[in-house]
């Protein structure tokens, strides 16, 4: 997953991009980068591995110039974890300087890459995003907007993009709108960002959310809505709402916090835990759902798990090794609350089940008498091909085991997943607008076969290591 | 403030100390250090500025040897922010190798330092803890326990200590017991740590809390209770419970989480906010109090403020500059909850008022109709001389302004502080055992005059900069 | 200027490349890089700014795998000083993984780049070497050797190359042979390197020097001489012998040390300094010439200038700013030798004249009565377009001033440059085989106009900064 | 060994100290440090492991303030290689801020340390220099000059010192004058430094060399010669002239370059190599001696060994491991000169013999027919206790083997050491003023027994590792 931001027509464009990346840090902690472009079209860039606060120093920030900037924070979805795979991509091509930040994942990347490579293109990274850059550069159109449109006509999958060609910025959302992209203004400057929380931090009022298929041209404070991309049925990623986005963000037309509250209430109705003494969340991503559960069930809310915030976010750590050991580093129990109690744990989702199992162990060790596990989303039965870094089907516990088996594996007294209907109906908006492929395996686009995916990755891995 | 840990009789002593420091990171983020001592008495040390995870690499951890180790994580209370002031202090003296980690603050440091300096002692840091090391080294006793006892006979103030003399470990709590120190065992190893959460993370069962005046000698898995220090009335720091310790810790004989819940309930009774639509916390330190407030008042709990956990903890950042700007970096509002609502904000304490004022601004900006601020502790009217890094009286808003003035400064519709009686009576234990000097100005020891304090600090600053 | 090395069929290929780069450090101190390729075709790379010893740590070296490796150490000739411009270039293209290290400079880079960009190619660096990679990737041939040959058919200028396509290595010298490339063997491994000193350090016996136009295919210890490139009159860079290469190297069929000795002897005959008390070198590059001068003239040799070797090499520092101040940092005089003496200073060449002028100042300040400056090469009257980082014509003192004017500028009593005939006739080999363009302005290829060169550079600078 | 510099009464004192350290880098590459003191007595310090250019950044240099500064560059003689052992030492004591930089080694350190430790002193490093600081701090005198004098009355051995007490600077040379210390002035500023080359680089004219026993007080541009220390027969370290100091320095009243030339000439007379084809040096420390040898013998000088200056200086590398491998990294041969020739190699000294043996191997491998090794100093038969980092007697090849045995070990056709008489008589000054203990074992002071030395070191090692 990734976070992107673009700032146009602001004298401190790179500093605003930096602040925005800070607010989008939860969307990717592997690498971060900023490109700024000045009036003469000179681009300056800095990218590095790690957190935004580690990558950018005061000195680096001082070196940026120009009123246009884009930023990117990355967690690997395609391409391995090396600096060469950090974004924004910055190249020089026919029409000048081109920078691009991409949130999402292309589903026909392997074919396109093969075709480009056959045509003599070279690849310096293993990111699918580099394909987009090649396609834009190969277009015979003269207007960059036409080049971008032609390139997008070739790709399938999920892409929210901020692009600069010289000092002109473009913002794009794919026709299905898998990933969010918000538009805001602060004085004369225009800002686009993955989530509204990044607009908030730079003091930008949210103008609106970009609809699926939008192609914007932004220059000198002016926003041009170019002809939209060919329409498709919208497929907003429900997992953004369930887990990924920040609760203070407004995306896909609704409040993330309110949606999660609704999930919790619905979960309490679908899987009540009668007679439980208390309910608590796995902090922080399921805080809202636990509150909703408590509200609807009347079971008192507690804070029984404490999270050490000096460690990162489990789900998006790249390496599996050592994950189990990390449960204890990240979480601890409040024993007085748990001893002798019948408790309800609310979590937002279960991926592999290893963290949940570790948590249940801790809760039992603290003396809980009964542990009832409630999940505020449906079982994850398929990998995501649109930008969320879920593992392969083999590692998804719900893709390979029944709820009863999972309950046994977790060691809980009962386990209840929210139904898929419950998930989509909890939305304040149109429940049909979602992509729920990881919960339903109804992929809205052709997807690479698992073997193709593996082959691509191993090919990519060959291209560059260290 | 600081966190300390000591591990004795464990083949991986330094790694346990490292894990423990991880859990104690909230007690100090300025520097961290570990000393390990092997069977031959050879000490190895590594100290650095920054977070535990930044200071220690895998390579550094590999370089430690020996079954005894102590660790320290520091936020400056006395002495400026430089590597020379990081702990543990490690020196060679008459009886061998001496390492010392100190949590607390000595109140007669200036006099002792002057006396030692007059006697020809040299100081390489500006920490009061270096005084302790000199006093131990100057003792004519042969037994290190006697040396330590003699040294402690000279100092006044707050000190929880882990000390090693060669491979023997000593754990000390001053006669008033200002700071917590927990004792645990994991198999044959003995662990002492500032809070029980550090015992949890290394899998050590808590044996007990060290009583005020305790002096322990720990060697080869054996714990000797030496004669206690001359008794004093206990003065447990109530601010540890109110704000500083982790909610999953058990200190001073009670659960931090449960105490804060009780504070919140009492606050709701003392300062109800009739007709409010919702109550929410300033996360995370006031989560429990807000829950208690909701419980007692029946006002629904919300999560209206979201904290970006990729930044540190406001209160303990060393430099004032830029603090106001940081409110927005750390917190954001959930607008849907706040728009048009009468809200209650629960915070654990107000120090300077700048963060609170920034939060109130944000809450109003998100559309709240009325803002009622509730503080789960009494007004802070005096600086702490016992280890909490509160500012001087001049900067403490409640030391210089009435509640009405503070309410006006914050821009709230009403402001309610918990009473001092309410605070101490919320305890599950003896309410007379607390030091509440920062709330009452009843200092249990003579304290340096403000001018003396300033002089010491400016003297210290002269000794070493950069 | 750059140094390159390739190692094939050795289990520790990257470590040999590392050692070789160490010996080639004088050819470029701006950045260094290594690519290794294993049996499965997986490439690993590490590149960084700075010296070889700074860029590669033990940990980095451990991460390389595979029996094929190439290395590069760079001083910027085309493209600005940023990490993106470090080599080897590593990309994935139609035939697999392609890595390339380039010593030299292409003279038709601007046209080729424009053409490629028009054809949709994207550029991630400002190096002319990236053009070669695009040309290889765009070739429709299937055999990489044919692809390389086709690409080389398009480029003009100077190039000694090591290339890997998967695990097969190619070594190339352009048809004029501007830059040296040596071939050696150590047991079953094949090594190619810019200078023989790099073969020596890895214990490889020199097999031979690659003739102009050579194209080698190296795999599994086997060396195939493919059909040579279309022949041209050889144009060996005489400046390699005069200044650039290490004196312990054998290049272009002769000993660098012996050639410089011959230059010094000839210089003594062309410009004797009758009655001088002593002769000394500007260490270390003119040590051999000064010895030759002393030998031929009978004037006693002294060591009157001492160089601080903890600083780099003047000529190849990228930034002009502060150069004058650096003379004193790099050199100091031995006063006892100079006081009251008539002295002869032998230097290898004069570029801008600033260092020489600083040295003369120092020598006078130390009490020398007469200073006779002797230069073991002809006046530099034109920039190099073939890989030596000489400045533009405007900055070349001899391109704009007579010898008398230069003597006045330097403040010397007499100034003598070796004649161009003297230079070439000092060679032990065929004197017509040299490129002496910087001394004669007889460029063996069309060269970019100065304005074109400037335009290219400013375009390149726009493509990427920071 | 170490280099020291002190600058008084200069607005850019730290920058001058920095430049001076640069010129003294050859005296120690392990760590470097600077302390500056401003008008208010506030001291600022920065110390780090590594070369001067690595330790100090522009930002660090900017942070220094004040017109007084001292600097130190260190190679370990006593105390292991850790940051805690870097200098200047900076402490706060009775009279204020005390900073001290020490070149030399105390011979009664073990006794003094034991006594101080018994008296309650604590040690934070393993350097003997810390003893001096304790002794000064323990003095009951009020005037710092008296404190220093009292402390020096207790110590034996070698010490050239720069000390600051608040803004007053003191410069000291021990009564025997083992180590050089030069005094210079640049405008109103006073500079003292280990060698005259450091005065040259800051543009300071050398005022004079400090005589043995000198104690200077320097303040506000004024130099006070305080009463000298109790006199002793001078014992100037001849090894400074033979090897350690820079050839452009003037120390002990003579030119290092001229002295080494004289050594070479004498060596040629004592051990001619009749019929040899050429003579060459092991660069750079024996360049002057080889030139002298050539001059006196008439054997033509060559440059047959080339040194890669991107590596450090062999003799003063702390770890023995890997030394042999390093010969090849540091040196290479010029084959054309050596092939089939009878050659004379001139080196300044032989310590362990490993480097010499490696060089002889290389020379033979390059085809030399006969190798005659000439050493421009006498056999080293004893360790130095006065600051030169020679190994223990066990490792000194000449302490344990006859010249014939050494010749066999090196694999040379003949081996000639200069006689001790030859060494001292080559001086332009009084030949009796030298300490030649490492050549004669006539130690001018009591020296620690080897076992005592080992005990001290192992004790020291225990005090602090990592």
Q: What is the DSSP string of D84-123?
A: GG-SSEEEEETTEEEEEEEEEEETTHHHHHHHHHHTT--B
pLDDT of residue A317: 33
Residues of B in Cβ contact (< 8 Å) with D91? 122-124, 463
Q: Does the distance separating the beta carbons of D120 and B139 come in below 8 Å? A: yes
C-beta atoms surrounding D452 within 10 Å = 12
Type and span of the H or E element at D307: strand D305-307
pLDDT of residue D435: 98
Distance between CA atoms of residues D163 and D89, nearest Å: 9
Burial string for C393-414 (b: 16+ CB within 10 Å, else e) reads eeebbbbeeeeeebbebbebbe
Distance between CA atoms of residues D275 and B192, nearest Å: 78
A217 compared with A459, residue with greater pLDDT: A217
Type and span of the H or E element at B458: helix B450-463
For residue B137, the chain D residue with the least C-alpha distance is D120
Per-residue pLDDT band at C207 (split at 50, 70, 90)? confident
This prediction's pTM: 0.89
pLDDT of residue C79: 56
pLDDT of residue B60: 87
Contact B310, A51 (CB under 8 A): yes
Pick from C201, C287, C332: which is nearest to D200 by CB?
A: C332
Residues B359-383, mean pLDDT to the nearest whole number: 97
C-beta atoms surrounding A283 within 10 Å = 20
Tokens for D292, please give them: 């002298």
Q: Does the distance separating the beta carbons of B133 and D120 come in below 8 Å? A: no
Burial string for B226-247 (b: 16+ CB within 10 Å, else e) reads eeebeeeebbbbbbbbbbbbbb
Sign, CA dihedral D206-D210-D211-D216, equals: positive
Distance between CA atoms of residues B13 and B65, nearest Å: 8
Residue-averaged pLDDT of chain B: 91
The residues that bridge with A216 in the sheet, in sequence order, are A171, A225
pLDDT of residue B207: 79
Q: Is the pLDDT of residue A457 over 90?
A: no
Between chain A and chain B, the number of residue pairs with CB atoms below 8 A apart is 106
Q: How many angstroms away from the CA of A40 is the closest CA of chain C?
A: 8
| Lookup result for tokens 């375009």 | C459
Tokens for B418, please give them: 């918990």
pLDDT of residue C312: 44
pLDDT of residue A445: 95
Q: Does the distance separating the beta carbons of A291 and B301 come in below 8 Å? A: yes
C-beta atoms surrounding D290 within 10 Å = 33
ipTM of the complex: 0.92
- DSSP letter at B39 equals T
| Lookup result for tokens 């969307």 | A27
Over the stretch A158-173, which tens digit does the pLDDT of each residue have? 999 999 999 999 999 9
Distance between CA atoms of residues C33 and C27, nearest Å: 14
Contact A103, A194 (CB under 8 A): yes
Per-residue pLDDT band at A137 (split at 50, 70, 90)? very high
Residue D168's φ and ψ, nearest 5 degrees, are: -90, 135
C-beta atoms surrounding A430 within 10 Å = 12
Give residues with Cβ within 8 angstroms of A310, minimum separation 6: B22, B25, B26, B51, B52, B53
Q: Is the pLDDT of residue B318 over 60?
A: no
Lowest mean pLDDT among C50-64, C373-387, D95-109, D434-448: C50-64
Residue C161's φ and ψ, nearest 5 degrees, are: -130, 145
**CA-wise closest residue to D151 among D134, D166, D168:** D134
Q: Does the distance separating the beta carbons of A123 and C464 come in below 8 Å? A: no
Residue D345's φ and ψ, nearest 5 degrees, are: -100, 130
- DSSP letter at D168 equals E
Q: How many angstroms away from the CA of C433 is the closest CA of chain A?
A: 37
CA neighbours within 13 Å on the CB side: how many for C370?
14
C-beta atoms surrounding A153 within 10 Å = 11
Numbered residues of chain A with Cβ closer than 8 Å to any chain C Cβ: 40-46, 60, 63-64, 90-94, 96-98, 117-124, 126, 133-134, 137-139, 459, 461-466
Q: How many angstroms away from the CA of D219 is the closest CA of chain C?
A: 28
Residues of B in Cβ contact (< 8 Å) with D97? 462-463
Q: Is the pLDDT of residue A465 over 50?
A: no
**In 3-state terms, what secondary structure has residue D380?**
coil
Tokens for B421, please give them: 């009686």
Residues A34-39, mean pLDDT to the nearest whole number: 96
Tokens for D8, please give them: 């008084």
Residues A117-130, mean pLDDT to the nearest whole number: 92
For residue A333, the chain B residue with the least C-alpha distance is B248
Q: How many residues does chain B have?
A: 466
Residues of A in Cβ contact (< 8 Å) with C99? none
Q: Does the distance separating the beta carbons of A255 and B335 come in below 8 Å? A: yes
For residue B460, the chain D residue with the least C-alpha distance is D92
pLDDT of residue A312: 45
**CA-wise closest residue to C237 among C177, C295, C293, C185:** C177
Distance between CA atoms of residues B414 and B370, nearest Å: 9
Rounded to the nearest angstrom, the gap between the alpha carbon of residue B158 and the centroid of all alpha carbons in its chain is 11
CA–CA distance from A422 to each of A147, A262, A285, A296, D107 (Å)? 42, 9, 19, 14, 84
Residues of C in Cβ contact (< 8 Å) with A45? 464-466
CA angle B83, B88, B92 (to 5 degrees): 105
Pick from D119, D123, D465: which is nearest to B42 by CB?
A: D465
Low-confidence ranges of chain D (pLDDT < 70): 76-81, 311-325, 450-466
A83 compared with A113, residue with greater pLDDT: A113
Residues B363-369, mean pLDDT to the nearest whole number: 96
Numbered residues of chain D with Cβ closer than 8 Å to any chain B Cβ: 40-46, 60, 63-64, 90-94, 96-98, 117-124, 126, 133-134, 137-139, 459-466
Q: Does the distance separating the beta carbons of C301 and D291 come in below 8 Å? A: yes
Pick from A42, A46, A117: which is nearest to C94 by CB?
A: A117
pLDDT of residue D381: 97
Distance between CA atoms of residues B335 and A69, nearest Å: 28
Contact C250, C193 (CB under 8 A): no
Distance between CA atoms of residues A377 and A373, nearest Å: 12
For residue A462, the chain C residue with the least C-alpha distance is C42
Distance between CA atoms of residues A34 and A53, nearest Å: 13
For residue A42, the chain C residue with the least C-alpha distance is C462
For residue A202, the chain B residue with the least C-alpha distance is B328
Residues B95-112, mean pLDDT to the nearest whole number: 96
Q: How many angstroms away from the CA of B114 is the closest CA of chain D?
A: 8
Residues A55-71, mean pLDDT to the nearest whole number: 92
Contact C254, C241 (CB under 8 A): yes
Contact C324, C358 (CB under 8 A): yes
**In 3-state terms, what secondary structure has residue D80?**
coil
Type and span of the H or E element at C190: strand C189-193
Alpha helices in C287-353 (DSSP H): 287-297, 323-330, 335-338
Residues C52-72, mean pLDDT to the nearest whole number: 91
Q: How many angstroms away from the CA of D63 is the closest CA of chain B?
A: 7
B237 has catalytic annotation: no
**In 3-state terms, what secondary structure has residue C382?**
coil
Gyration radius of chain D over CA positions? 22
- DSSP letter at C244 equals I
Residue A394's φ and ψ, nearest 5 degrees, are: -55, -35
pLDDT of residue B372: 98
Task: Please identify which of the residues A2, A237, A384, A438 carries the catalytic annotation.
Answer: A2
Pick from B308, B329, B336: which is nearest to A255 by CB?
A: B336
Residues A455-465, mean pLDDT to the nearest whole number: 46
pLDDT of residue B283: 96
Packed helices D256-270 and D287-297: angle between N→C axes, nearest 10 degrees:
50
Residues C405-416, mean pLDDT to the nearest whole number: 98
Q: Does the distance separating the beta carbons of C465 and A45 come in below 8 Å? A: yes
**CA-wise closest residue to D159 among D235, D244, D253:** D235
Distance between CA atoms of residues D406 and D390, nearest Å: 18
Q: Is the pLDDT of residue C311 over 70?
A: no
Q: How many angstroms away from the CA of B267 is the closest CA of chain A?
A: 18
Tokens for D249, please give them: 């320095």
Distance between CA atoms of residues C19 and C202, nearest Å: 7
Q: Does the distance separating the beta carbons of B23 and A332 come in below 8 Å? A: yes
pLDDT of residue D378: 98
Distance between CA atoms of residues C307 and C296, nearest Å: 25
Q: Is the pLDDT of residue C80 over 90?
A: no
């Amino acid at each position: 997953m990734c976070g992107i931001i673009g700032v146009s027509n602001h004298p401190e464009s790179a500093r605003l991009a930096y602040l925005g990346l800070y607010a989008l840090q939860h969307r990717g902690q592997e690498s971060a980068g900023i490109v700024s472009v000045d009036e003469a079209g000179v681009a300056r860039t800095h990218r590095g591995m790690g957190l935004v606060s580690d990558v950018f120093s005061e000195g680096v920030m001082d070196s940026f110039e120009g009123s246009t900037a884009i930023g990117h924070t990355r967690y690997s979805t395609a391409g391995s974890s090396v600096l060469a795979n950090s974004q924004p991509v910055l190249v020089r091509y026919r029409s000048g300087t081109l920078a691009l930040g991409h949130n999402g994942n292309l589903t026909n990347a392997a074919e396109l890459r093969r075709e480009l490579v056959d045509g003599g293109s070279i690849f310096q990274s293993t990111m699918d995003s580099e394909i987009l850059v090649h396609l834009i550069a190969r277009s015979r159109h003269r207007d960059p907007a036409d080049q971008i449109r032609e390139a997008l006509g070739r790709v399938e999958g999920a892409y929210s993009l901020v692009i600069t060609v010289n000092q002109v910025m473009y913002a794009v959302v794919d026709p299905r709108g898998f990933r969010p992209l918000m538009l805001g203004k602060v004085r004369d400057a225009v800002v686009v960002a993955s989530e509204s929380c990044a607009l908030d931090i730079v003091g930008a009022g949210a103008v609106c959310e970009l609809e699926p298929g939008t192609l914007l041209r932004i220059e000198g404070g002016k926003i041009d809505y170019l002809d939209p991309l060919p329409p498709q049925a919208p497929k907003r990623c429900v997992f953004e709402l369930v887990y990924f986005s920040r609760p203070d963000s407004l995306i896909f037309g609704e409040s993330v916090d309110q949606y999660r509250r609704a999930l919790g209430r619905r979960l309490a109705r679908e899987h009540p835990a009668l007679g439980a003494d208390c309910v608590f969340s796995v902090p922080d991503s399921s805080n809202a759902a636990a509150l909703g559960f408590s509200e609807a069930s009347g079971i008192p809310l507690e804070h029984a798990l404490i999270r050490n915030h000096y460690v990162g976010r489990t789900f998006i750590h790249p390496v599996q090794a050592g994950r189990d050991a990390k449960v204890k580093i990240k979480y601890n129990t409040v024993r007085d609350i748990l001893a002798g109690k019948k408790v309800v744990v609310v979590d937002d989702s279960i991926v592999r089940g290893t963290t949940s199992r570790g948590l249940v162990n801790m809760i039992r060790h603290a003396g809980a008498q009964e542990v009832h596990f409630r999940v505020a989303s449906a079982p994850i039965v398929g990998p995501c091909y649109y930008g969320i870094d879920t593992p392969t089907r083999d590692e998804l516990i719900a893709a390979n085991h029944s709820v009863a088996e999972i309950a046994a594996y977790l060691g809980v007294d009962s386990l209840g997943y929210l139904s898929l209907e419950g998930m989509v109906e909890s939305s304040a908006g149109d429940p049909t607008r979602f992509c729920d492929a990881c919960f339903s395996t109804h992929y809205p686009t052709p997807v690479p076969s698992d073997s193709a995916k593996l082959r691509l990755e191993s090919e990519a891995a060959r291209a560059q290591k260290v």
